[in-house]
């Protein structure tokens, strides 16, 4: 009977909160398959932490109570943060809101494994324990990793860098939050209540801020992309600074390479517009139409990249959108085409 009651109490709250994050995100930046992958990454992190803890405690290198209060927060948050680092460094995260969703999903996967272990290891646990673990500990795990994603994405965008140092402040804040939770400064039920109020409030602020940034990025980016594409197609590019710059490269590159540069620039702009159009359609609650030519266009884009080489791409860099969000939208477009 305890297990029948305990399992839902320990697992459902964090999954319900994750589902709410996923479905309330109006632009649908994160695909369901990616959420499942993040949950799996969190589960693997939990398994790795369990094995490490058992080895450390079994060898007598650290007391179980000391490990839980002081070592576990740093070790577990670092393990969960690994997948966050991978996602951001691969340009798979465009805005803070998807960083929050990915982070919470990783924490949810970690909490699921941890709570299932507790379900089998604790004898005759009370419903109160499962309430604390389900509504408190599990949500804390998700919220702490969401903090890593939010802070790291914000710093990455601000500094236009993906070096490891941009992940340290978020990781430190998450580990500190986890450590405070593990000290049991407040009674368990009150601590659970604080978690259930604080983390949803934080996520709500992130959602609001991220949607505002995304809307502004769409409006500005869409207008500039349309303008540039019209100039390329109409032949008016030669009378602009972009055209003058390309003409100035005639002494450095053969004519066919300059032609590839213009083709590459046009294709990047067209793909950028298509990605933004998909976001606008998804915001309206509709399913974007599949473009069977997207795969071929990306193949052509990669061919042009190889043709231009590093030097050619560097020469075009003043006019290419290479921010983390602009690179993310290309990944998002490929994901949408593959779905």
Write down the pLDDT at residue 220: 64
User: Residue 68 contacts by C-beta under 8 Å, 6 or more apart in sequence?
Assistant: 182
**Structural element, H or E, at residue 21:** helix 2-24
DSSP calls for 225-247: HHHHHHHHHHTGGGGSHHHHHHH
Instruction: Take residue 45 and report the two structure tokens written for it.
Output: 């992190």
* Domain match, 244 and 196 both: no
Q: What is the CA radius of gyration of the chain?
A: 24
Please give the model's pTM, rounded to 2 decimal places. Answer: 0.82
**Long-range CB pairs of 118-124, under 8 A, 24+ apart, other chains included:** 118/10, 119/3, 119/6, 119/7, 119/10, 124/2
pLDDT of residue 53: 95
Judge whether 227 lies within some domain. no
Q: Same domain, yes or no, for 198 and 241?
A: no
Q: Which residues of 138-160 are buried (b: 16+ CB within 10 A; e: fewer)?
A: bbbbbbbbbbbbbbbbbbbbeee
201 and 309, same domain (yes or no):
no
> Does residue 159 form part of some domain?
yes
Domain containing residue 268: 235-338
- pLDDT computed for residue 102 by the predictor: 96
pLDDT at position 224? 73
In a domain, 176, yes or no: yes
Positions in the chain whose pLDDT score sits under 50:
1
Residue 42 lies in a domain: yes
Looking at the fold, whether 56 and 193 belong to one and the same domain comes out as yes
One domain for residues 312 and 183: no
- For residues 196 and 257, state if they share a domain: no
Residues 205 and 300 in one domain: no
Domain membership of residue 226 (yes or no) is no
Q: Look up residue 54 and give its two tokens.
A: 């058992």
The domain tally of the chain equals 2
26 and 145 together in one domain: yes
Both 205 and 67 in one domain: the answer is yes
Q: Is residue 220 part of a domain?
A: no
Q: What pLDDT score does 111 carry?
A: 94
Residue 218 is assigned to a structural domain of this protein:
no
């Amino acid at each position: 009977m305890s297990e029948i009651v305990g399992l839902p109490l320990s697992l459902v709250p964090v999954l319900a909160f994750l589902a709410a994050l996923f479905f309330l995100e109006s632009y649908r930046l994160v695909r369901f398959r990616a959420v499942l992958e993040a949950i799996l990454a969190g589960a693997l992190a939990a398994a790795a932490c369990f094995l490490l803890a058992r080895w450390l405690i079994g060898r007598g290198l650290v007391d179980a109570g000391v490990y839980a209060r002081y070592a576990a927060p740093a070790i577990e948050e670092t393990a969960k943060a690994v997948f966050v680092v991978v996602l951001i460094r691969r340009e798979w995260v465009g805005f803070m809101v998807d960083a929050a969703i990915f982070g919470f999903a990783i924490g949810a996967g970690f909490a699921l494994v941890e709570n299932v272990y507790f379900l089998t290891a604790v004898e005759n646990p009370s419903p109160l324990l499962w309430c604390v673990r389900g509504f408190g500990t599990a949500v804390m795990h998700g919220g702490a990793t969401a903090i890593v994603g939010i802070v790291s994405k914000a710093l990455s965008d601000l500094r236009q860098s993906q070096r490891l140092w941009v992940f340290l402040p978020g990781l430190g804040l998450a580990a500190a939050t986890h450590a405070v939770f593990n000290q049991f400064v407040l009674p368990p039920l009150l601590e659970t209540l604080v978690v259930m109020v604080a983390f949803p409030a934080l996520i709500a602020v992130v959602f609001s801020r991220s949607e505002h940034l995304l809307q502004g990025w769409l409006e500005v980016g869409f207008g500039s992309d349309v303008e540039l594409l019209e100039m390329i197609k109409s032949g008016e590019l030669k009378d602009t600074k972009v055209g003058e710059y390309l003409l100035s490269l005639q002494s450095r590159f053969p004519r066919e390479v300059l032609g590839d540069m213009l083709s590459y620039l046009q294709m990047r702009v067209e793909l950028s517009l298509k990605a933004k159009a998909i976001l606008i359609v998804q915001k309206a609650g509709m399913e974007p139409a599949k473009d069977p030519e997207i795969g071929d266009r990306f193949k052509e884009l990669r061919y042009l990249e190889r043709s231009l080489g590093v030097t050619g791409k560097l020469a075009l860099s003043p006019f290419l959108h290479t921010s983390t969000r602009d690179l993310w939208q290309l990944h998002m477009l490929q994901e949408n085409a593959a779905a």
